[in-house]
């Protein structure tokens, strides 16, 4: 699989990273029940297919996703880059409820807990999951710098930050990476955030390139578990949901032109943006990865990129 460098001095990441939100299992923002052995098989399948990095977060499954990854990577750690996140914590007495906490002491504690769950002595990429409106971002970022200087994390980044917050962090220490949502259905980062990253040499690892499953062309909302977080998400509510499905049908002929599925086209479209280093694609079982990797190793012709852009703006303007 093709690789791209995460900013100027970062690791060479495969164009696709394995997202592990769903393998955390049921919780407040979970995807329904998940079998841990199936998750471990999925991680091993990703490595067999050439994917060299995994994205997770402490909050996914309230630590469970990290625990599963730690088990799956026994004896394989040296061949995999691990990215995880901090800044969302939970009260053990209120299972499933998470809240922002960007306080420096909390970030330092979270890092230690993640290291234990992942069964490793370093984290390749550590990211602030969401900004904490009650904590000055400079204070949170200084804690991240401290972790980097200690060697416990190698690169530091943020997720879901706007350009103003990125600028505040950059003044203290270079932001190695940003993890924003980006898909054909969600292009908000194109206006300001992606240009900022290109200007400052910040790597971009996008999440939700298939918009949590809508851009798979086989999505059925009726099959979601009762506690699946997507049932509460605006992209899955009417009238937006029907509009999204109509757009999928409009781009299906373009995907077929390349012998690809809509999902593969959606992934490739994200990767065509020069600001993007890699796209995070989630999987819950090994078979899902076979389609995922079809989003790499090819290009969309310029005339089709123009057509897709036109169809997108026509559908969502």
Active site residues: 60
Say if residues 170 and 7 touch (Cβ distance below 8 Å): no
Q: Are strands 53-55 and 81-86 parallel, antiparallel or unpaired?
A: parallel
Say if residues 145 and 156 touch (Cβ distance below 8 Å): yes
Say if residues 22 and 34 touch (Cβ distance below 8 Å): yes
The distance from CA 122 to its chain's CA centroid, rounded to whole angstroms, is 20
**Residue 217 DSSP class:** S
Distance CA 107, CA 85 (A): 10
The distance from CA 110 to its chain's CA centroid, rounded to whole angstroms, is 19
Torsion angle defined by CA atoms of residues 264, 270, 276 and 278, in that order, rounded to the nearest 10 degrees: -20
DSSP string, 65-101: HHHHHHHHTTTTGGG-EEEEEESEEE-TTSTT-EEE-
Distance CA 74, CA 120 (A): 9
Closest CA to 222 of 239, 207, 241, 208: 241
Distance CA 57, CA 20 (A): 8
Q: How far from each other are the two terminal CA atoms of the chain, in whole angstroms?
A: 35
Say if residues 295 and 283 touch (Cβ distance below 8 Å): no
């Amino acid at each position: 699989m093709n690789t791209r460098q995460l900013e100027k001095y970062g690791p060479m990441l495969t164009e696709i990273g394995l997202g592990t939100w769903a393998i955390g299992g049921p919780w407040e923002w979970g995807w329904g029940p998940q079998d841990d052995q199936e998750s471990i098989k999925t991680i091993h399948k990703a490595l067999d297919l050439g994917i060299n990095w995994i994205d997770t977060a402490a909050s996914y499954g309230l630590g469970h996703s990290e625990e599963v990854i730690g088990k799956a990577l026994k004896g394989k750690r040296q061949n995999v880059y691990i990215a995880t996140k901090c800044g969302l914590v939970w009260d053990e007495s209120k299972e499933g409820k998470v809240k922002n906490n960007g306080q420096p002491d909390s970030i330092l504690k979270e890092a230690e807990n993640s290291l234990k769950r992942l069964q490793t002595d370093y984290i390749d990429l550590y990211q602030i999951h969401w900004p904490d409106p009650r904590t000055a971002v400079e204070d949170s970022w200084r804690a991240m710098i401290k972790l980097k200087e200690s060697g416990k994390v190698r690169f530091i980044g943020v997720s879901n930050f706007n350009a103003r917050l990125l600028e505040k962090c950059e003044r203290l220490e270079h932001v190695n990476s940003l993890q924003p949502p980006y898909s054909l259905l969600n292009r908000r980062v194109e206006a300001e955030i992606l240009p900022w990253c290109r200007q400052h040499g910040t790597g971009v690892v996008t999440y939700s390139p298939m918009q949590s499953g809508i851009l798979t062309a086989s999505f059925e909302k009726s099959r979601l578990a009762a506690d699946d977080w997507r049932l509460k998400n605006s992209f899955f509510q009417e009238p937006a949901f029907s509009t999204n499905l109509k757009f999928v049908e409009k781009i299906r002929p373009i995907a077929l032109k390349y012998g690809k599925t809509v999902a593969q086209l959606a992934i490739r479209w994200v990767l065509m943006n020069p600001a993007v280093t890699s796209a995070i694609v989630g999987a819950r079982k090994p078979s899902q990865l076979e389609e995922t990797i079809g989003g790499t190793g090819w290009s969309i012709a310029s005339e089709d990129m123009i057509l897709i852009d036109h169809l997108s703006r026509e559908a969502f303007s």
